[in-house]
């Protein structure tokens, strides 16, 4: 019996000392287990959709007659940004690269080159990026005495004098801007002041250079020789202007009328509503 009592006591003592330790172990937070994985970790990121390339916005020209699709294509190309990196390359090579880049037909007038005493291999040295095609062409052609115009549905490279002789008649609706004779007169004067002077002065210089020495010099206030038929005529009954001018001046007229319409619309929105 004594041996049994001793054995039982020993067992109870062991149980008593074990229980608190077990409880303390259960109260402690479990030790985190570090899981090993292959490195580098492969994961998938949801990629953002590629940005849609910005397209050229085709704006309907505010005049009549409307441009046909082929001429409109050339106009759109002229207003599109271009890259012109031509380090001392022949003129024809530069124009060929521009033609391929924009997908338009171009033509160089041989008689224009002969008139200016230059060849198609005349060197071009420009490096342009992020400018419109029409600006790039002016930078390339003006030092050579050349210019461009849309003729027979192609972009023609010829002399500035020939471009200045080519007049186009267009009708501009101006009903939102003009309601009286004074307003029509004001807009005609605005076009003459903002769109014509610098270009007419250039035409006079070119005209004077081509005249024979014995021919009297033209008046500085007269229209350039060969340009007497250029005109701006108001037609109030149709709320329109009939303009017979070069493409270059027509471009400036479009810009001016567009800005005037924008100003007019802003003013109309700013007028407080009356009850």
The model's pLDDT over 187-240, given as tens digits with 9 standing for 90+, comes to 999 998 998 876 656 665 555 655 543 445 444 434 444 444 788 999 999 999
Residue % of the chain over a pLDDT of 70? 65
The CATH 3.30.1370 domain(s) of the chain lie at 168-206+221-268
| Range 69-165: architecture per CATH | 3-Layer(bab) Sandwich (3.55)
Against a cut of 0.85, is the pTM above it? no
| The residue to which tokens 């505010």 are assigned | 62
Least confident of 49-53, 122-126, 153-157, 204-208: 49-53
Least confident segment among 123-137, 152-166, 187-201: 187-201
Cα–Cα dist 229/245, whole Å: 8
Looking at the chain, the whole-number percentage of residues with pLDDT higher than 90 is 57
Neighbours of 142 (CB within 10 A): 11
Domain with CATH 3.55.50.30 in the chain: 69-165
Tell me which fold the domain 168-206+221-268 belongs to.
Ribosomal Protein S8; Chain: A, domain 1 (3.30.1370)
pLDDT of residue 218: 46
User: Is 130 a residue whose pLDDT tops 70?
Assistant: yes
Instruction: Give residue 273's pLDDT band: very low, low, confident or very high (50, 70, 90).
Output: low
Per-residue pLDDT band for 109 (boundaries 50, 70, 90) equals very high
Evaluate if residue 8 carries a pLDDT over 90: no
- Decide the pairing of beta strands 154-159 and 106-108: parallel
pLDDT tens string 47-73 = 444 443 434 545 456 899 999 999 999
Strands 240-245 vs 168-173: parallel, antiparallel or unpaired: antiparallel
């Amino acid at each position: 019996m004594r041996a049994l009592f001793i054995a039982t006591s020993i067992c109870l003592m062991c149980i008593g000392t074990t229980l608190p330790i077990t409880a303390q172990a259960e109260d402690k937070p479990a030790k985190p287990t570090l899981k090993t994985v292959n490195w580098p970790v492969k994961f998938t990121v949801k990629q953002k959709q590629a940005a849609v390339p910005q397209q050229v916005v085709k704006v309907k020209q505010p005049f009549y007659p409307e441009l046909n699709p082929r001429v409109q294509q050339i106009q759109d190309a002229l207003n599109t940004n271009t890259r012109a990196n031509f380090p001392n390359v022949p003129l024809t090579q530069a124009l060929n690269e521009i033609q391929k880049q924009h997908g338009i037909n171009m033509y160089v007038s041989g008689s224009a080159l002969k008139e200016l005493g230059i060849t198609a291999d005349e060197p071009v040295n420009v490096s342009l990026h992020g400018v419109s095609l029409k600006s790039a062409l002016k930078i390339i052609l003006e030092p050579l005495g050349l210019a461009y115009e849309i003729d027979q549905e192609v972009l023609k490279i010829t002399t500035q004098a020939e471009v200045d002789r080519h007049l186009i008649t267009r009708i501009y609706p101006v009903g939102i801007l003009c309601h009286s004779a004074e307003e029509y007169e004001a807009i005609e004067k605005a076009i003459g002041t903002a769109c014509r002077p610098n270009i007419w002065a250039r035409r006079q210089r070119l005209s004077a250079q081509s005249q024979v020495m014995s021919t009297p010099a033209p008046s500085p206030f007269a229209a350039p020789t060969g340009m007497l038929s250029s005109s701006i005529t108001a037609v109030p009954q149709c709320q329109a202007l009939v303009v017979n001018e070069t493409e270059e001046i027509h471009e400036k007229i479009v810009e001016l009328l567009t800005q005037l319409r924008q100003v007019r619309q802003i003013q109309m929105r700013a007028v407080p509503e009356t009850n």
